[in-house]
Amino acid sequence: MTRHANSWQKFFAWTTLVISGASFLLVLYISLVLCPPTIASTLGEELGSLPAALAFVEFALLCILIVTFRPENRIGWLCGVISIGGAIVIPVGNYQYSCYSDSGPVPPELAIGIFVSTILFFLVIIPLMFTLLPLWFPNGQFLSPRWRAFWYVALGLAVGSALMFAFSPGALAQMAGRPIASPFELDIPLPAWVAPLQRFFFFPALVLPLIANASLVVRYRRADAVTRQQLKVFGILAVGGVMLLLLVELAGFAGLLDKSFGESWFYLFALIVGWLGYPTAIGVAVLRYRLYDIEVIIRRTLIYGVVTGMLVALYFGLVILFQRIFAGIVGESTEIVTVVSTLIIAALFTPLRNRVQAAIDRRFYRKKYDAQKVLQKFSETVRDETDIDKLTAELVNVVNETMQPRSVSLWLKRGDGETGRQGYNK
């Protein structure tokens, strides 16, 4: 039996959409208004943050759908955490690389923002989005205990990278060609082996997500037909794009790419397919292959969305109407207007929901609606009919109309030991 989300779970899901939506609008403002791209630019760096910010809005929408109607599936919760983490990382990085060109000292609040976004990148984006999500897809479970151990190793390397960047002396990031140190770096001399250790943590932190995506091949070989279709979609849309982006970033980290590559259209393409791959793939799996009972999700979303919209419109309409009526009678608005309107809305909720549900079932779920009508008619017949032959004939007709089998046969044992048969064949 499917369990639906409680109030705090729904609050968390919708909060992710508010945060990620605000983050996307902020990135849009920074990219197009505060720091508009130049005509000579290829837009590789200037607009690179937009697909990333949009991806986290997609993650928030997936969180709302899955958490609201299937809260027991951990994929929905993971999408929510990824959405919040990415909503913090992207705007700071966008301003850092696109806007700040002042030769003066870096503002302390901006340095702290860069510190927070860098740490969250290593604690949320790499271990959760690029590693845990492909390890869990599509059922929210690890493929085996070995892959769970692999995830712990990847998480440890990501945490180690975050700590190295947070407290080791050296550049935390580059801003307008100037190194930006961590505001919390340790002001003490460190051994010579610290710098190689930082690379030891950082390089595998980018390599292990590639292995995590490769685990989908193993899952595909063990999966049933439906899961294989889901994994095909995920592999094409998500894994291909993410692996392209990670390979490009690894090549840049190893010094194999020219610095101007970051301003190219190909790099922008890698960013788009890399960031949007995962949420788009999960969305297609939900919509196309019924990954999380999408028929139930869409049906309930339609019902309660329409009901909510109608009740809100009716509520404000009643408030305005009653205010004018009472203002004409007593000369001023009173609190009784709100009370009466609220009581009317409460009384109308259940009948309005039933009518909207019937209309949606009749329009979008015709077979289910017709079956319900047939069963309702049969229950009335059973209540009033006493002839066993008519009842058996009616039962066969009900099975035929609702299930539409190739043939139907009903065998009844009489009191004298003989059997009677009522059948239907196409």
Q: Are residues 139 and 179 in the same domain?
A: yes
Structural tokens at position 373: 């009508």
CATH of the domain at 65: 1.20.1070
Task: Tell me, yes or no, whether 307 lies in a domain.
Answer: yes
213 confidence band (pLDDT: 50, 70, 90): confident
Q: How far apart are CA 7 and CA 61, in angstroms?
A: 17
Q: What is the pLDDT of residues 183-210, one digit of tens each?
A: 666 665 555 555 566 666 666 666 778 7
What string of DSSP letters covers 364-378? Answer: H-HHHHHHHHHHHHH
Report whether pLDDT(240) > 50. Answer: yes
pLDDT band at 426 (very low <50, low <70, confident <90, very high): very low
**336-358 confidence digits (pLDDT tens):** 666 776 777 677 767 776 776 66
The pLDDT of 27-54, averaged and rounded, is 66
What is the residue range of 271's domain?
A: 7-292
Average confidence score pLDDT of the chain: 71
Amino acid at 150: F
Q: Indicate whether 249 pLDDT > 60.
A: yes
Count of domains forming the chain: 2
Strand 419-425 to strand 171-175: parallel, antiparallel, or no bridges (unpaired)? unpaired
Torsion angle, CA of 207/119/128/295, rounded to 10 degrees? -140
DSSP secondary structure string for all residues of 258-275? -GGGGGSHHHHHHHHHHH
Contact 108, 183 (CB under 8 A): yes
Do residues 76 and 66 make contact, with C-beta atoms less than 8 angstroms apart? yes
Q: What is the pLDDT of residue 38?
A: 47
74/131 same-domain check: yes
- Please, which residues have CB within 8 angstroms of residue 300's CB and are 6 or more apart in sequence? 69
Cα–chain-centroid distance for residue 406?
A: 41
The fraction of the chain above a pLDDT of 90, given in percent, is 4
Residues 155 and 48 in one domain: yes
